[in-house]
Amino acid sequence: MMNHGCVFCNSLGGELLWQNDLCRIVLVDDPNYVGFCRVILNKHVKEMTDLSDAERLHLMQITFKVEQVLRDVLQPTKINLASLGNKTPHIHWHVIPRFETDIHFPETIWSVEVRQTNKPNIVGLFAILKTKLAEALV
């Protein structure tokens, strides 16, 4: 199943950290949000309830592993776990480490900015996350 107008059918949606037959984990290139990951289903499916029970459970297990790895590596103030899909109705979970100092906190990352901040830059984060996810998702 593929939809030619869909960004997640036509691109990885970020820098590839891990994948299996069901889904992939990518690191999103957003300078304001270090460690922002997406878990993207590999096929074009709109709603979680369109999946089989086994697929849905597996997808969420992987998503929570991403959350745990991000917590371990970044110690964020909060994890935001979000699934919207209004613009891109292809199942994907945003896993977003949030910090009290980020440009929107405590609002959503899609809200109006509430402050300017210096962007944290973590050298080697992609490699660290890739290694930790490979260990967590065996």
Q: Where on the chain is the footprint of Zn ion (CB under 5 A)?
A: 3, 6, 8-9, 44, 90
CB nearer Zn ion, residue 8 or residue 105 = 8
Q: Hey, what are 54's tokens?
A: 């086994």
User: What's the closest the beta carbon of residue 55 comes to Zn ion, in angstroms?
Assistant: 15
CB nearer Zn ion, residue 8 or residue 93 = 8
Q: Tell me the Cα Rg of the chain.
A: 15
CB nearer Zn ion, residue 7 or residue 79 = 7
Closest CA to 96 of 122, 74, 112: 74
Closest CA to 92 of 28, 1, 27, 23: 23
User: What's the closest the beta carbon of residue 11 comes to Zn ion, in angstroms?
Assistant: 10
Q: Which residue is nearest to Zn ion (CB)?
A: 6
Contact criterion met (CB below 8 Å) for 92 and 85: yes
User: What's the closest the beta carbon of residue 2 comes to Zn ion, in angstroms?
Assistant: 7
CB nearer Zn ion, residue 48 or residue 136 = 48
User: What's the closest the beta carbon of residue 117 comes to Zn ion, in angstroms?
Assistant: 33
